[in-house]
Amino acid sequence: MEVRAPAAQVLREAARDQHRGESFEKSLSRTVRTHQGTFEDYVDLIGRVRRRAEEDRQGLVSAAKALTDQNR
């Protein structure tokens, strides 16, 4: 991953900085770009979040937070 910040930090910021009415995907995309990541970085991260959400049967934000807790 080319993002200049750890994946856990990017996911945490995306969940925290999500604007009202904005999808998690859009928030994550913006956060990845802020950290100078690429589209491939975004695809990798959202793929991880979606897999976790499906495994745990929860929403994307909850899955992202679970992934950040897992990486502590």
C-alpha 33/C-alpha 45 separation (Å) is 12
Q: Give the mean pLDDT of the chain.
A: 92
**Domain locations in the chain as residue ranges:** 7-70
Residue 3: both structure tokens together = 């993002």
The confidence band for 70, taking pLDDT boundaries of 50, 70 and 90, is confident
Q: Find the helix or strand (DSSP H, E) in which 54 lies.
A: helix 39-56
Could you tell me where the DSSP H helices lie in the chain? 7-16, 24-34, 39-56, 60-70
CA–CA distance from 5 to each of 2, 8, 52 (Å)?
A: 9, 8, 21
pLDDT at position 5, please?
A: 83
Task: Write down the pLDDT at residue 72.
Answer: 59
pLDDT tens, residue by residue, 34-64? 999 999 999 999 999 999 999 999 999 999 9
